[in-house]
Amino acid sequence: MSAPASVHGSHTASVLRQFYALTKPRVVQLIVFCALIGMVLAVPGVPGLAEVQQALLACIGIWLVAGAAAAFNCLVEKGIDAKMKRTAWRPTARGELSDRQALVFSVALCALGSSILWFAVNPLTMWLTFATFVGYAVIYTVVLKPLTPQNIVIGGASGAMPPVLGWAAMTGEVSPEALILFLIIFLWTPPHFWALALYRVEDYRKAGLPMLPVTHGNEFTRLQVLLYTLILFAACLMPFIYGMSGWLYLVVALGVSIGFTGYAFALWRNYSDALARKTFRFSLIHLSVLFAALLVDHYLR
């Protein structure tokens, strides 16, 4: 009797891992991290116990809704995912989970997360988070991504929302500081994804997606990456200029922005897949270090 029980337990664990994979854990972790930064920056000084509890509940709610959006994305794009090496492993692309399972899972996560945000945080955060879900899962995934090479630019608004959600969770409002954080991520998104698309261009072409390197070519995309990093450079200085951060943040922002711009310039002048990969990886470091600096600076001021 132990053998069938062991097999059943192994199968259950495998199914749970498949559902967990649908939530795109690494992406969701970055989303929650950025939302947490917004929460921390919204609270002057060291947060009290009540504020810590509210932030924890907000993180859980945002994680659930973000995971729901990721699962819905996997469902809608299962045919595209199956054609791309980067995404062919996803359970929906491999047929390990049915459409019904993925849809029910997405709806359940969204409903649970929205309920937590509504009852335990505040209605504004719930509505903003739900709007982000619709923006990513429906407007970006269903409408923009298969129709326009500007999908990343327009759809980037959804990806830039986490700090706004975090700020709203703690204050019940959206302030200029939250919008500055939104702007930084919004401008960071195109060069981040286009660097990836440059060395994955054949995957996108095979999948039939009109990503910028497919529709406008390698050279034009490299120029856009450089131009966006220059605009992003200026945006990264705004927290200091507006007075929401101090000198520590400024020094770090200058360092990582110079690094990102340097990679973009090198990519523009002399392309290689290896350099595009390094640029993509550095973009992740850029955003993580930038927001970590905001956090440290907040408590040192």
Residues 61-90 have pLDDT tens digits of 999 999 999 999 999 888 888 888 778 888
Average confidence (pLDDT) over 7-17: 71
Whether residue 264 is predicted with pLDDT greater than 80 in this model: the reply is yes
Query: Quick one: what percent of the chain has pLDDT higher than 90?
Result: 71
User: Which range among 2-11, 73-82, 192-201, 250-259 shows the weakest confidence by mean pLDDT?
Assistant: 2-11
Average confidence (pLDDT) over 183-207: 93
Whether residue 9 is predicted with pLDDT greater than 60 in this model: the reply is no
Range 15-174 has CATH code 1.10.357.140: yes
Split at pLDDT 50, 70, 90, the class of 10 is low
Residue 96, Cβ neighbours under 10 Å: how many? 15
Structure-block tokens of residue 231? 């605009």
Instruction: For residue 142, give the nearest of 189, 208, 76 by alpha carbon.
Output: 76
Whether residue 131 is predicted with pLDDT greater than 90 in this model: the reply is yes
Cα 207 from Cα 28, distance rounded (Å)? 24
| 149: three-class secondary structure by DSSP | coil
Cα 157 from Cα 131, distance rounded (Å)? 11
Q: What is the maximal distance between C-alpha atoms in the chain?
A: 69
pTM: 0.90
Q: Give me the pLDDT at residue 4, please.
A: 58
Structure-block tokens of residue 251? 């020094």
User: Which range among 8-12, 147-151, 163-167, 201-205 shows the weakest confidence by mean pLDDT?
Assistant: 8-12
The secondary structure of residue 96, as a DSSP letter, is S
| 58: three-class secondary structure by DSSP | helix
Amino acid letter for position 165: L
Average confidence (pLDDT) over 288-298: 93
**Domain residue limits, the chain:** 15-174, 176-301
Whether residue 1 is predicted with pLDDT greater than 60 in this model: the reply is no
Average confidence (pLDDT) over 106-117: 97
Contact partners, residue 166, CB within 8 Å, separation at least 6 = 34, 35, 36, 37, 38, 39, 40, 42, 55, 58, 62, 178
